[in-house]
Each structure stands twice: as structure tokens, then as C-alpha cells.
Amino acid sequence: MNHQTKFIKQLLIWRYKFISERNFLFFLSILIGLLSGLVSVVLKNLTFAIQNLLKKGIIFSENQLYFILPIVGLWLVFQFVKRISKEPVQHSLSNVLFALSKKDGLLSRKNIYYPLITAPLTVGFGGSVGLLGPAIASASALSSNVSRWFHVDRKTRSLLIGCAAAGAIASIFKSPIAAIIFAIEVFSLDLTFASLLPLLIASISSVLTSYFFLGDDAIFNFTVIDKFRIRDTAFYLLLGLGTGVASIYFSKIHFKISAFFGKIKSAKARLIIGGFAIGVMLYFIPPLYGEGFGYINNLMAGNHIEALGKTPFNSELNNIWVVIALLFGVTIFKAVAMTTTFAAGGTGGIIIPTLVMGSTLGNVVAKIINNLGFGFEVSESNFTLVGMAGLIAGVLHAPLTAIFLIAEITGGYQLFVPLMITVSMSFIISKNSLNYTIYNKELAEKGALLTQDKDKNVLTVMKLDNVIETDFIQLRPEMSLEDMLMKGVSKSSRNLFPVTNVREEFLGIVLLDDIRSVMFDQSLYHSTSVETFMHNPPAVIIYEQDDMQAVMKKFQTSGAWNLPVLKDDKYYGFVSKSKLLTAYRNELINFTS
């Protein structure tokens, strides 16, 4: 036993003796919060260091060749994946959610530091994605491995991963309340005192870490000046309609572009095509470069000229409708640039690109209202802020996170009413059109999505292998009744027998009730065979296809007490209703305790 393992063992023994489970959870929440804050700080500093290095003259500035930088970053990520990680790049948050539902919250140690390398290369060189997703992924992997070291159970591990996600958001945005709500809405954590307090502790410790390393600097430097006016209600409803439609567009264009690149088998070809496409978009629409926080701050400050940067249309920027058209172009192409960055092999998140798109749409709507000539005037900065919330609510299906995030980053709650108006409208439109978000659509298709529905959650985390029983004696169809009794019934404690051929292919079943009336009639011992009594089961479970929800439904519709399981078209075992319900009850207790 090495010194590290011995130390951890002694620490665990000391912990079991002197620290209660609840207090130990609070201690871990503090630790996870500090580590999440540290991960976020490292990620931001690495990215900013790359950006500053490029801005000081390696390629940038005078020649305005920044639009070729993303393909350089994507190539570096490609080389890292090919030569070092040798694992395909995955959606950050989707990977964490899948681990929670199907891997007991266990994440590889590699997931701690891989995002800290690939995300700064992607974003630092101008990839049109965000850093929040990789920060959550890295912090969650760190939390998962800390939980493993301290031998905590699955439910506590899941809560601590939620704490890591909350800590990452709290650190980046300095918004602890929104961070807690995000963990509850997106990670489907229970809103109870037992879960709320660890989330709160993690968020606070993460924010303190951010303040310690970064000081008072905030991503958004803005204070609400223009108050909400009741006569603007209709315009905020209009903004909610716009952000709802934009959310649907954002999600659908993501799925379509991803499907297009998915047909390209060569990773190198995806890199070249995607990198070239991003370069073209950046040449005409410079605000698509990188995350876009500076762009949002310029919009909120009313400086749309600086926000747009140097474009081929600079000579026309004195025309407000040209400005509106260019901003609308940012709205349309941000989702395209973001998805193309992912498809070309980049690493990043979608939350910050969503904020960029939402802020632009809000600003566009306000500018149109103010310049139509009907005498209406609304606050462009307020619409910029509320637009961000509307798109977050629509794209992530997280309305409360959207409201509190914007309220916190502006330092007050003066916009609470317009935020609620726009967010509710956007969420209703998006939710009625899209059942799933970018993060969870693939998980839902795999049957691996956790929701606020406890029944579905229990079935999602249950594993079919844990309820399959294989101690059944197999019969062959040509066996005589005597052989069936001697080699099967007399040696089995079961009243059910699977019938298979020599290739282990499933043919049917024989119940003890099927032969009860003739089993003592010796005149039939050699004249009848298993095939005489064999019949089809009421339903069959396909191992590769049926998740636990499908299994439970088959038991409900068939009324059977035992159902056979086929794996690779061959007999594999049986699932009994009694064992299934016992496992379900134990898992439900684990969820609700």
C-alpha cells in the first residue's frame, strides 16, 4: 500500500469516527466549491493569455487576418485529440448528464484536465463557443473523483456534481443564486433543504475563490438605469415572442449542422470545411470571434459601432438600418458559427453563445421599435439584457436560471417584471415546439435523461443487468417428456423453462403448469416432447433495445410475472416482476431519502 492510499484510508477512518455524514457533506461542498472556482479561474486565465498573446502581434492587428485563427486553434485541438487524448470530443454538459444517469456519476480523471487544454485552444484562437460548458465539465469530473476518493454513495456524488456545476457558474458570473437554480433545473436535483444547503455553500465558496483571484472585476459591467414602464409591456411580450422563435431556430440549426458534419467520416475533412466556414463568417461578421463578452458589454453601453468592429460595411454604419441588418446577421450566424466550431472538432459550451445571440436580438428589437417613426422609445440596454434571459430560457428550458442570472449580473432586480414577461413567453413557445434541448435530446433518445419526474428517474438509473436472472435450466425442443422431467424439472427450483436450440436461439417457454396434468403419466414419457408443450411468452425483452421504462411497460401490458431477455438474438435470461419491483422500490428509497 503506497503512502497516498494509506493516508486516505486513515483519513476515512478518522472521518467515520468523528464527523457525521451531514457535516462531512458540508465540508465536501466547501471543497468542491473552491476547486470549481479554481478550475474556472484557470480556464479563463489560460484563454485570456492566448487571446492577449495573439493580439500583441503574432498574426492579428494591422493585417486583420484574425479570421484564419480559429482553424489554427481547431488544428491544435485535432492534434491533441489524435496524439494525446485519443478520445472523441464530446458535448461537455451532455457527458456529465449521461454519467449521472448511466454511470453512477463516475467521470474519468481525464475529464478534469482535457477541457482545460482543448477549450482555451478553441476559444482563445477565436472559436465561436463559450467556456462555461468546459468549466462545468472539468469541475464535475473533479467532484466525481473527489467523491470516489472519499467513498460517498451515488446520490451524494450526484449532489456534489451539481455543486460543481453551481460553483463553476457562480465563479464565472459571480451569481450564486442563479448557479443554484441552474443546478436544480438542468441537473434535476431535488429542491430540498438537504440539497439546497450544500449547493449554497459550494456557490459561496466558489464566488469567494473568484474574488480572491480576480478581484471585483465582473464579466458584465452594467447597472440598470432605465426603469420598467407599464406601457412597454407589449414590447417585452414581442421580445418574448422573438426570443422564443429564435430559441427554436438556435436548436434546430444546431441539429441540422451537426447532422451534416456527422455524415463526413474524416475528422480532418470536418476540420478543414468547418474552419473555412468559420473564417468566412468572421470576415464578414467579426463579433462572431471568440466568446463575445466584450461585444455584449459594448451593446449594453450603447456602442454598437465598436461592438460590430471592422467589417466590409464600415462606410455604411451611419445608416441605422444597416447597423440593424448587421446585428441581425450576428443573431442568425452566431448559432451557425457555434455549431460549426463544435462540428469541426472544437470544445466549448453553448450558454455564452446563447447570451450573445439573445443580447443581439434584444438590441435589434429595441432599435427597430425606436426607429420605426411611430414615436415609441424603449431602453436598448434593458432590451439587450432581457433578450439574453429570453434566449437562455428558450434554449436551455431553464426559465428561473435565466431570470436570476440577468438580475444578479446587473446588480439588482429592477428588471424583474420584464424578465418574467419575456422569459415566460419564450419558454412557453420553445417548450411547446421542442421537447428536448441541445443538451438532452441525444440523452432522451438513449433513455438516459434525468428529469424532475422521480418515477422516470428511478427507471433511468436502474440497470437491466441487475435484474436479469440466469439460473434457469434450458430445454431443447426435441427432448422427451421424461428427459424434461429428469434433467429439468427435478433439478430446478423454478417453474419456468426456456426452450432453445443448439445455437442458443430462443424458441419459447414451458411452464410447470403446462405439464402438471401429464407429468406422472408414464405412457407419454417417450411419445411427447418439449415441443408439444412449448409456447411463446407474452412478451420478450430485447437487451440492446429496451430500457427499463420499456421493460416496465411490457410487464404492465402483458400481465406476465417473468419475461425472457434476448441478447444478440439469443437467450440470455429472465426478468421477474417481483425482482424488478423490489429493485425499483430500493432505488426509489435511495432517490427520496
First to last CA, the chain: 36
> What size, in residues, is the chain?
593
Q: Are 438 and 249 in contact (CB under 8 A)?
A: no
Residue 243 bridge partners (DSSP): none
Banded pLDDT at 451 (limits 50, 70, 90): low
Residue corresponding to grid cell 415609441: 376
Average pLDDT over residues 19-31: 88
Other beta carbons within 10 Å of 209: 22
Strand pairing of 541-542 and 562-567? parallel
Average pLDDT over residues 528-555: 91
pLDDT of residue 77: 92
pLDDT of residue 12: 73
Banded pLDDT at 426 (limits 50, 70, 90): very high
C-alpha grid cell, residue 38:
479554481
Give pLDDT tens digits for 215-251.
Answer: 777 677 777 778 888 999 999 999 999 999 999 999 9
Give pLDDT tens digits for 102-128.
Answer: 888 889 889 999 999 999 999 999 899
pLDDT of residue 63: 47
Q: Are 97 and 187 in contact (CB under 8 A)?
A: yes
Give pLDDT tens digits for 170-195.
Answer: 999 988 999 999 988 888 776 676 77
pLDDT of residue 551: 93
pLDDT of residue 14: 76
User: Hey, what amino acid is at 179?
Assistant: A
Any idea what DSSP says for residue 314?
G
C-alpha angle 159-161-162 in degrees, rounded to nearest 5? 65
C-alpha grid cell, residue 331:
443573431
Of 475 and 91, more confident:
475
Give pLDDT tens digits for 370-397.
Answer: 999 888 899 999 999 999 999 999 999 9
C-alpha grid cell, residue 429:
413557445
| From 183-197, 333-347, 547-561, 567-581, the region with the lowest mean pLDDT | 183-197
With a cut of 70, say whether residue 406 has pLDDT above it.
Answer: yes
For residue 452, CA distances in Å to 95, 407, 460 come to: 19, 25, 12
| From 162-171, 271-280, 442-451, the region with the lowest mean pLDDT | 442-451
Which domains are seen in the chain, by residue range? Answer: 3-214 (1.10.3080.10), 230-452 (1.10.3080.10), 456-592 (3.10.580.10)
Distance from chain centroid for Cα 121: 22
How far apart are alpha carbons 500 and 504 in whole angstroms? 5
* Ramachandran assignment for 169, one of left (phi > 0), alpha (psi -120 to 50 degrees), beta (any other): alpha
Of 100 and 132, more confident:
132
Q: Comparing C-alpha atoms, which of 555, 515, 521 is closest to residue 538?
A: 555
Long-range contacts made by residues 328-333, C-beta under 8 angstroms, separation at least 24? 328/360, 328/364, 329/284, 329/285, 330/285, 330/287, 330/288, 330/356, 330/357, 330/360, 331/246, 331/357, 331/360, 331/361, 331/364, 333/281, 333/285, 333/288
With a cut of 70, say whether residue 57 has pLDDT above it.
Answer: no
Of 477 and 447, more confident:
477
The chain-wide mean pLDDT, for the chain, equals: 88
How far apart are alpha carbons 57 and 273 in whole angstroms? 27
How far apart are alpha carbons 479 and 475 in whole angstroms? 7
How far apart are alpha carbons 156 and 105 in whole angstroms? 9
Residue corresponding to grid cell 435511495: 590
Percent of all residues in the chain with a pLDDT value above 70, rounded to a whole number: 94
Give pLDDT tens digits for 282-330.
Answer: 888 888 988 888 899 889 888 888 888 877 777 777 889 999 999 999 9
| pTM score | 0.83
Q: Comparing C-alpha atoms, which of 338, 328, 333, 432 is closest to residue 387?
A: 328
Most confident of 65-69, 111-115, 360-364: 360-364
| E strand map for 197-304 | none
pLDDT of residue 501: 92
Banded pLDDT at 452 (limits 50, 70, 90): low
Banded pLDDT at 592 (limits 50, 70, 90): low
Banded pLDDT at 567 (limits 50, 70, 90): very high
pLDDT of residue 323: 92
With a cut of 90, say whether residue 274 has pLDDT above it.
Answer: yes
